[in-house]
Structure 1
Amino acid sequence: MLSGIRLGAKQTLAVGFIVIILSGTLLLMLPISNKSGDSIHFLDALFTATSATCVTGLVVFDTWSQFTFFGQLVILILIQTGGLGFMTIAILFSMVLGKRIGLRERSFLMEAVNSMQISGVVRLVKHILIGTLMFEALGAVLLSSRFYGEFGLWESIWFGIFHSVSAFCNAGFDLMGRIEPYTSLVPFQSDILVNLTVMALIVIGGIGFVVWDDLFRNKLDHKNYSLHTKIVLLSTAALIAVSTIIFFMIESEASMKGMDFGERLLASFFQSITPRTAGFNTIDTAALSEAGSLYTMFLMIIGASPGSTAGGIKITTFVIIGLSLITYFRRFEDVNIFNRRLDPSIVRRAYFSATFYLFLMLAGTFIIVSSQNMLIEDALFEASSAIGTVGLTKGVTQGLSEISKLVIIALMYSGRLGSLTVFMAVTEKRCIRKLRNPEDKIIIG
């Protein structure tokens, strides 16, 4: 209940994220959060809290240089809460306290983790929490072992934990300002352990909780995988492989110039994964070729899997739209995949979600370009990164105007919830008309 109004599942998620963001904003404004000992501007704190909660990674300050250990801890908690979803965290506390999980809470959970059915959703959440702890702990150990030679014992442990959580949640926040501000993972560009660990965490966090559960139950028996799992695994693998080849070819004389074959292959592999909402970079994003920038935006728009820590229109939406186009060109009546026919309502939902997503991205780009002197390609890149909750940047976020910051904040928020969820949160009530208008035709194309 909120002021006598009973909120639906999508509205509760939308409001809940706002509450978490505002709480994080107030904490980051405290002098104890900032190394200068002074409070930062509300809008800058709001930008940082939104970026962390919405697991984006766009920053107006270098995280290490600006924030104390307390401030970094606040950011890490926001990342973890935003990555798992606040409803998942709330249910964790309910289970610890022994409280009963009612039907309403289960329906909210189903919405939060994109489960296709309400039965077994609490069990799914338990698997999510255990799996998250295991993967993040393993990632932290591996990264800490590598960072030890650079930063010493306690810093290496903290750096390992921070970057493991940030990678798994696809957040892109880093503490490498300890070496050089705004450098991300460029100092570890050729480090195989750091690269492979971060990439693995990104992919595992990005395939989605429902896929985890399916793999947990069916192990390697791929014949029993759900249609959703088959589409996510196959399309993810194909997109990573193809993108690695593309970046290897087009960036040889640009951002990867001067690298040997092995370094270029590793950088291309990393670059094929990180734009799909992770936000870390091992090459200078501003040095990308025009083709590389355009393809990176393409990957940022696609994103990863529904019900994951990632953003974008989601890879299933991309696949459905592609299949529907093939179906139309071949004059088939149904959209089919893996010997299954997709419900037409799913195809309509995919088109609406992608269209509304692109509308928000272009509208945000227009406002940014209109409000300050910025190249349209830079504005489009930042808007794509924000709504895709990616965090890659051309290095212009530190010079954003107040209006542009508000636009990026709104895009990050919309991207984390999902454009369709934002729309439906505003229009929760569905009007069913008893009478339908007469059918007519118009000319298309």
Structure 2
Amino acid sequence: MKQSIIALSLVGAVLGRPGVNRYNFEKREVPQEHAHRNVNLEVSKSLNLDNPDNIQDPIFGLLGAAAAAAGAGSIADPDCLQQATADQAFTNAKAAGDVNGMTFALIFRALERNTGSVGLASVPCTSIQAVNPEIAALQQHQDPASDGAAALNKQIAQDLAAQIGAIGGDPTLANEASTFAPGEIGDATAKGNTCDDDADDAGCINTLGLRVDDLTEEEALAAAQGGAGAGNAAAGNGTAAADSENANKDSGNADDSDAGAAACLAAGNADSGNATDNAGDAGNADSGNASNDAGNASADAGNAANATADAGAAAGAAAFGSCSDPTITFSQAPSDGRQEAAFEATDLTNFPHGSALGIGVISSFICDQLVNKCKAEQAAVDSCDQADAAVKASGLSGQAAADSFNQALGF
């Protein structure tokens, strides 16, 4: 998002004049904070239920730091105002049992903030930790013309879809946080492809057809089910299918080999004149070998489900950076108050994420955090990605799924 520099004295004057809409920044050169007005209005409803920090309006959280400070209330860091607004709105909606309110609080957290020029990324919030792990798991969209924005914004949308799905909302609403098409770097107006209309309650980005969705419906649903996207889910299933086929081949080959060995043994025994005794021996040997092979085939199938005999070994020796415990816990009483058994990160300090019914939501987040927060070695990241894909494709559930993922990482 883009914004021209606003003098705080001008903002103060606008806010202080009686009868003036204090949220209408018409004199700003390139405003667009009202583009997602539909989201702002929903969040305002939840925020107004209990607003201990006296945040003036959700709109301030979408402005640059200088302008945001005017409506931040007691939030000391204006770069954290968007997160703080979403966090309080989510808390209020959760207390009211309002899934729609929680959903739009999540969406608001993922909206793009205004910045001063086309291609300039907004500053992340680092000074405040969100109370709700669902909010802490998200970040704001970035200017679509900024470096790496396409991939980053898609990942943010996938994370958003996962969080919405985890609270029982519609994951396809994650596209409500999608932003505009990239503008031209160096645009002297700093406007880019934006709109701003504080009278369009549907959001002018929607009304004017300017929103560029990050996800297809299939990708949003896949993210909510624990996949990183339809493409990755398909790749994981393909790997699992290949492993399963190999396990079947191992089982078939083992049977053929045993049959041949038994035949040779029987023939040798017949030549020695002990056909009867050795036939029994052959039968016993074949039975024992068959049992061993069946066990081996089962082991192969188990390894196929986890997909990582090698990955586990690599992970055990790899460094996870500043995060020492990337494991997943399956709990009957999750720490976020969910009233049903669910998965969550064991270390919620380094992996702050709300619990989820699908393990893939948590495993994907942990692997992302190993890169973005923990600065883990590449071997550890690769092992996590393999374990993540494997557990999604395995069909395992509950404690077995958590054990599979943890063991693949060497725990």
Q: Normalized against structure 1, the TM-score is what?
A: 0.24
**Structure exhibiting the larger radius of gyration computed from Cα positions:** 2
